[in-house]
Amino acid sequence: KGGTKQRLSFCGSYKHSFKPIGLKYRTRFQRTFEKNENPEDLIRNKCTIEYKLDKNLEPYISSELFHLYNEPVQLDEYRLSFGLTVDIMKKNSIKIFYIFKKEDLTKSDPYEVNVFGLAYSFKM
């Protein structure tokens, strides 16, 4: 893998709260363009469960399935993740997370990726 990719996506999401538990669902159509290759179309479905420990701490767990658009029964990739969102100051937060993903399930040699991350976000 590698090289430059361009992506176009359309998505919709739904969120519901059963305080202190929050549920999120997102579905996304994604088309990826890569030089000298046919575009790849995927349907991505993601479910997340969050738990508000207090006003500043929110652990979560999520799963995401990637299906080839032309063959929606064919699973191409999946991701499992968990993490912790920590609100700091007004409208600022950091997220510490882990993602396990298994890619290219339609090929004879799928591979696994482990991601440990730290993200910062702010709302305007």
CB 6 within 8 A of CB 35: no
* pLDDT > 80? residue 79: yes
pLDDT at residue number 115: 97
Under the banding of pLDDT at 50, 70 and 90, the label for residue 7 is very high
* pLDDT > 80? residue 82: yes
Query: Tokens at residue 11, please?
Result: 């998505």
* pLDDT > 60? residue 14: yes
Predicted structure pTM score: 0.85
pLDDT at residue number 1: 55
CB 44 within 8 A of CB 66: yes
Q: Which is more confidently placed, 49 or 55?
A: 49
Query: Tokens at residue 15, please?
Result: 């969120």
Q: Which is more confidently placed, 29 or 104?
A: 29
* pLDDT > 80? residue 92: yes
Residues near 25 by beta carbon (within 8 Å), at least 6 away in sequence: 13, 14, 15, 45, 46, 47, 48
